[in-house]
Amino acid sequence: MATNGVLDARDRDATLGRLASERFDVLVIGGGITGAGAALDAASRGLRVALVETRDLASGTSSRSSKLIHGGLRYLEQFDFKLVYEALRERDLLVSKLAPHLVKPVSFLYPLYKKVVERPYVGAGLVLYDAMEGTHRPVPHHKHLSARGALKRAPALSPERLAGAMLYYDAQVDDARHTLTVARTAAAHSAVVATRVSAVGLLRGADGIRVTGARVRDEESGREVDVTAETVVVCAGVWTDLVHELAGVQAGYKVRMSKGVHIVVPRDAVQADTGMIVRTEKSVLFFIPWGERWIVGTTDTDFAGDRADPVATEEDIEYILSAANRVLARPLTRADVIAVYAGLRPLVVPSEGTGSKPTTKISREHVVDVPVPGLASVAGGKFTTYRLMARDVVDAAVADFSREVPASVTDQLPLLGADGLAAVQPAAGRLAEDYGVSRETVEHLLGRYGTLAEEVLKLTRTDPGLVRPLAPGHPYLRAEVAYAVTHENALHVEDVLARRTRLFIEAADSGTGVAAEVSSIMGRLLGWHRRRRTAETRRYLEFVAADQPAKTLDLPPVREAALAASAAGR
Ligand SMILES: Cc1cc2nc3c(=O)[nH]c(=O)nc-3n(C[C@H](O)[C@H](O)[C@H](O)COP(=O)(O)OP(=O)(O)OC[C@H]3O[C@@H](n4cnc5c(N)ncnc54)[C@H](O)[C@@H]3O)c2cc1C
């Protein structure tokens, strides 16, 4: 039965107790979008579900993507029609029914430089792209633009050689927030969701073969417990091979890691009222509108470093700047770059051979495997197709259950905050008046929490100070920090600044200037004394520093000010 889907960080001990004492049907390893999706898929089929995540929800690849919910125009060129077809249908389902508060249509301008060859080629691709959508069409059809029309929409483009453009539509999402919302919706269907808990070993049944759960370690205390489950589902992204190793099994596929870097620049650095996609030698480069900023990227290179901490290099940043500057009239410079982030694509390759294909050419389709009874795993795929990945891996996991398990229903299940949205949007004015905030603030909250927006505002009734903005020039309220603790399972400052809000990638100082304030709001709820608050602030500053050389921020003064503020108990 659906409950309210609250993930209260203060209930953590009770959650860990449930992991150790209950017997689950399905244990999901990994709290990225695929694991959150699998937990929701299984829980909404009436199964008892637990999910464990080593760090925070979406702390892996699922907070570091291009944040597009799209068919992927470039995959048509690789004849990956099935992937594009499925992804477009998922896009339309998310925009129209499952998550209209989070997944929003966005237009992309595709500049053309070779009039005779390019327009019919790209145009045919877009006719196919549009034709693959379902019948509801929540996003408009593509359009042809002349060079003049293109420059009107995007004056930032250099007119040199510009022959015209195509304008087409896809959708975008805050990937970390979407992942959290899927996990909360799973919790609303009774899933137990535990973060900072790692699977460190797999349990075997009396036959010594069947996997019957996992030994897990609480990363906060180091304590280990056994979680028993009829089946274990691995959704560990680029960590998948390591979990297979833990289980001592060889799956039918391996994961190859490909690093993708994005830069974030101010909105006024690129004059355009639409997103843009431009061709590069190896792939494409996106300019994605992101509030008052642009996200520009990405790269696609093999990676063999620390999975938990992929770092952008100066070379990555230079590559993006030079690819962008090939089409811009006013070049972007290093000084325009507010932030940089890197993520790792979990691409699947057969367990034997074909390691040499360029990563851009490896299919983004997903693969499900059951290497040993009681253990199913899924990898590859895209954020856009997470619901299908989740459905397929749960189908495989329950295939040998002795009782019948209902089919997936997630195509009919709006995520938390989506149900009743049509009635909340017109009430924005009333909410603004009732809580003494601006209409923009309410719109901001509706776009992040949907129908749950008032839950955030209600916190300001008991603590009026929470109605104040968290950081100057950014729309987040202090109440969102408190809500992150009481409803969204935020355990550390990093969880709030990097994923519940996105100041880590949106603020020039990565949010370090408000780290002490965040620590203080969290500390009041979580019972942190002064020394702990300083330690939590320091921990965030170290997290940001570890991202060097991606950041240009001047850390030492920021660090001293933030630590002094924490130590003063502010
Ligand atoms: C640069 C880039 C751009 C992208 N852009 C797009 C896009 O625009 N649109 C799109 O559709 N897709 C995009 N993708 C792909 C998409 O982001 C990924 O396919 C998706 O996020 C993968 O999610 P996941 O849950 O499989 O992996 P992850 O998000 O990495 O989740 C795996 C989780 O497992 C946890 N874990 C690992 N081991 C254990 C353990 N032993 N115990 C407990 N937990 C464990 C990890 O901590 C991690 O949180 C992009 C990817 C990249 C890198």
- Report the half-sphere exposure of 234 (CA within 13 A, side-chain side): 35
What residues pair up with 23 in beta bridges, in sequence order?
228
Calculate how far, in angstroms, residue 35's C-alpha sits from the geometric centre of ligand 1. 9
- Is the beta carbon of 44 within 6 A of some atom in ligand 1? no
Closest atom of ligand 1 relative to the 364 alpha carbon: 19
CA pseudo-torsion sign 225, 230, 235, 238: positive
The DSSP bridge partners found for residue 106 are: 170
What is the pTM (predicted TM-score) of this model?
A: 0.95
Residue 243 CB–ligand 1 contact under 6 Å: yes
CB contact set of 518 (below 8 Å; sequence gap of 6+): 470, 481, 493, 496, 497, 511, 540
Closest CA to 327 of 267, 293, 285: 285
Strands (E), 393-445: none
CA dist., res. 413 & res. 298, Å (int) = 32
Look at residue 351 in the predicted model and tell me its pLDDT: 79
Token readout for 366 is: 């997903």
By DSSP bridging, strand 49-53 and strand 23-29 are parallel
| Letter string b/e over residues 396-411, b meaning 16 or more CB atoms within 10 A of that residue's CB | bbbeeeeeebeebebe
- Is the preceding omega at residue 549 within 30 degrees of 0, hence cis? yes
Q: What are phi and psi of 398, to 5 degrees?
A: -95, 0
Residues 6+ apart with CB under 8 A from 538: 563, 566
DSSP class of residue 414?
A: P
First to last CA, the chain: 42
Q: Are 331 and 307 in contact (CB under 8 A)?
A: no
Burial class (CB in 10 A: 0-12, 13-18, 19+), 13: exposed
Measured in angstroms, how far is the CA atom of residue 60 from the centroid of ligand 1?
5
- Chain length of the chain: 570
Cβ–ligand 1 distance for 172 under 6 Å, the answer no
Cis ω before 298 (30° cut-off from 0): yes
Residues 44, 46, 47, 51, Cα dihedral to 10°: 30
| pLDDT recorded at residue 353 | 60
For ligand 1, say whether the CB of 364 is within 6 Å of any of its atoms.
no
pLDDT at 555: 46
CB under 8 Å to 401, separation ≥6 — which residues? 25, 230, 231
**Pocket flag, ligand 1, residue 68 (CB < 6 Å):** yes
Q: How confident is the model at residue 2, as a pLDDT?
A: 47
Integer CA distances (angstroms), 9 to 28, 40, 242, 454, in order: 20, 20, 28, 20
Q: Say what the pLDDT of residue 131 is.
A: 72
CA of 187 to the centre of ligand 1 (A): 20
Q: Which amino acid is at 150?
A: A
pLDDT digit of tens for each residue in the chain (570 aa)? 446 899 999 999 999 999 999 999 999 999 999 999 999 999 999 999 999 999 999 999 999 999 999 987 766 666 667 778 888 999 999 999 999 999 999 999 999 997 666 776 677 677 776 776 665 667 778 889 999 999 999 999 999 999 999 999 999 999 999 999 999 999 999 999 999 999 999 999 999 999 999 999 999 999 999 999 999 999 999 999 999 999 999 888 899 999 999 999 999 999 999 999 998 887 899 999 999 999 999 999 999 989 998 999 999 999 999 999 999 999 999 999 999 999 999 999 887 765 566 666 666 788 999 999 999 999 999 999 999 999 999 999 999 999 999 999 999 999 999 999 988 888 899 999 999 999 999 999 999 999 999 999 999 999 999 999 999 999 999 999 999 999 999 999 999 999 999 999 999 999 999 999 999 999 999 999 999 999 999 999 999 998 765 454 444 455 566 666 666 655
| φ and ψ of 199, to 5 deg | -75, 125
